[in-house]
Structure 1
Amino acid sequence: MEIGVTSFVETKPDTKTGVVMSHAQRLREVVEEIVLADQVGLDVFGIGEHHRDDYAASSPAMVLSAAAPLTKRIRLTSAVTVLSSADPVRVFQDFATLDGLSNGRAEIIAGRGSFIESFPLFGYNLHDYEDLFNENIELLLKLRESEKVTWNGGHRPAIHNLGVYPRPVQNSIPVWIGSGGTQESAIRAGILGLPLVLAIIGGNPTKFAPLVELYKKAATHAGHDVSQLRVGSHSIGFVAEDTEKAAELFFPSTQYGMNKLGKERGWAYYDRSSYDAARSSNGALYVGDPETVAQKIIHLRKHVGITRFMMYVPLSTMPHELVMRAIELLGKEVAPRVREEISKWEAEMR
């Protein structure tokens, strides 16, 4: 069972002062967060690609590369790379470079992402999303298989027996499929035999269990060894010394972020009752003291089949020292609890 962190490197206004920090400051902060995550024994840190003024990380590979020489063992991944609006050759080169700098710790989570700004920015038509993704994932997987590539598609110029460099340290950089929870993306990941990451950010997390089964069924049908496949969760959360403290500290920025998105997408107003319901035992917020958070993660493993849990923290802007403390508690207190109980549970299941 892997435990880690994801960040979109947000730069929304501070809920108390209204001050918006610079992109440069937030980028430096997130590098410190990655270094701490490595030091406290977390398994993975993911950076999400966004192209808006309230997010600082338009290039996850660049951010992760800044942290690579400062870390020793933590896996470094995008979360996600918006592959439909990216050149797969450049994506591969960027993450092969990261792989070299980290001595074989790079990963890619390829997906649509939750925003569409990259499509007009890079000159792509959003209506071509599916075709673009299918072509680009095919080419990306081809690039990691061999040094020289011949490829032809409908949206990108053909490649005729050309080498793509640098080559990564790993024999094959792990490529995951990131999904918001659609059957189509789960089936795609299963057919390709790729690990799947689910954005479990609302509702009852156990409702994702049928989607995981569908993923495994598609993989089995395609001839893949299901026992080798991994399923991850990207879930919002925060850890503090006690549950009430965690709830009080995390609410203001969470409410601000949810309602900012809600205005754009037509969601209902996010109030304290919505928040408290989401952090209950059946909700999708992993907020509380180490034991509370650990038990919710264990429940997710046992009832949904998640083998990698990535906590998205912070949502919106929070004081850096609070984020650092949450990461420290996640690594030193939550992760050991989860690993120990899951290890015992798996031994009993054999």
Structure 2
Amino acid sequence: MPDALTGERVSAKERVNQIIQEAKLAEDAGLDFFSIGESHQQYFVGQAHAVLLGAVAQATSKIKLGSAATIVSTSDPVRIYENFATIDLLSNGRAEIIGGRASRLGLFELLGYNVSDYEELFEEKFELLLKINQEKRITWQGNFRAPLHDAEILPRPLNDKLPIWRAVGGPAESAIKAGMQGVPMAIAMLGGPVAIFKRSVDAYRQSLRLSGYQPTDFPVATTGLFYAAADTKTALREFYPYVDKGITLANGTGFNKRLFANGAKIQDVMAIGSPQAIIEKILYQHKQFGHQRYMAQIDFGGLPFEKVMKNIEIIGKDILPAIKKYTRK
């Protein structure tokens, strides 16, 4: 994306190289997880996100790697599994899949699918992806691809199975389905009160219980906008142009400035502010959600590369140690 202040853009090649450098710094800074989303539209280079993760796998040695998210609806589950099992072998067992439905609908036509099948495509394909992960040979029949007859899906991951999460938005319906399936849940939180998203987390765990699962066996991940600066006022002022422009380019409408200003409140899910304010926000959310992973969305809207790298350094040096001091208890 173009820089919201200067309009400058980097080439696709430079952007790819930046992502790899970000992953290397994230590992050096002690972060636990690095993810790349899949997007099939102008201003993005993550169309072949599995290829990028393969490059990151070779450039790193410890950090877990995943998608955020892989759009299961418009991909073949066999191919998804082949790609991520290969990434798992390249990374010595560090690969994960977060499977989602797509928040931008242009890719359905681009990849040859009917958007009217939005829900059915995802549910059928996600179920097949889970089945492939559990069984070495597959016999299966559905509505959106040719049947499989005693098919062996290769290669297998290093430890035979991959962590597969279901990506959900704010509404509880998809969270309930994740619980019914007995899979970890990753919930996207663009903005708004923590209380709204707590309903979905609670509904997920209740669904796990009703489906015969033990909720403590299934981790919850949250993800949201992140930006750290010397103080909260500066962070809001510096980051707003990038969020507003980025969401305008990606989704067609910008981010309401008054709603964005609510990001300063501890009860809002956006992690924007001074390092201490962000620590307090994440710990507040951990108290509400009891979740196991927070994923910071820090590289968006043409934010200058040096600011992204600075934010990774701040997470590793100031924020992560403080968070783990409390969560490890």
TM-score, with length taken from structure 2: 0.95
1:37–1:327 CA contact under 8 A, matched in 2:
yes
2:263–2:272 CA contact under 8 A, matched in 1:
no
SS at match of 1:30: helix
Residue type of the partner of 1:288? G
1:206–1:304 CA contact under 8 A, matched in 2:
no
CA distance in 2, matches of 1:258, 1:126: 21
1:204–1:283 CA contact under 8 A, matched in 2:
yes
1:71 aligns with 2:57: no
Residue 265 of structure 2, aligned match among 256, 262, 280:
280
- Residue matched to 1:249: 238
CA distance in 2, matches of 1:325, 1:20: 19
1:292 aligns with 2:277: yes
- Residue matched to 1:223: 212
Q: How far 1:305 sits from its partner (Å)?
A: 2.4
**Counterpart mapping for 1:1-350 below 5 A:** 12-260=1-249, 264=252, 270-271=256-257, 273-344=258-329
Q: How far 1:261 sits from its partner (Å)?
A: 5.0
Higher relative contact order, structure no. (Cα contacts within 8 Å, ≥ 6 residues apart): 1
2:165–2:186 CA contact under 8 A, matched in 1:
yes
SS at match of 1:54: coil
What are the ranges of 5 or more consecutive residues in structure 2 without an aligned counterpart? none
2:41–2:107 CA contact under 8 A, matched in 1:
no
SS at match of 1:92: helix
CA distance in 2, matches of 1:113, 1:38: 28
CA distance in 2, matches of 1:131, 1:276: 37
Residue type of the partner of 2:308? V
CA distance in 1, matches of 2:128, 2:102: 19
Q: How far 1:278 sits from its partner (Å)?
A: 2.1
Q: Deviations over 1:46-96 (max 9, x none)?
A: 111100111110122111110112212211111011111110000000000
How large is the RMSD of aligned CA atoms in angstroms? 1.6
Residue type of the partner of 1:189? A
1:240–1:325 CA contact under 8 A, matched in 2:
no
SS at match of 2:23: helix
What percentage of residue pairs aligned between the two structures are identical? 36
SS at match of 2:328: helix
CA distance in 2, matches of 1:203, 1:317: 23
TM-score, with length taken from structure 1: 0.90
Q: How many residues align?
A: 329
1:31–1:67 CA contact under 8 A, matched in 2:
yes
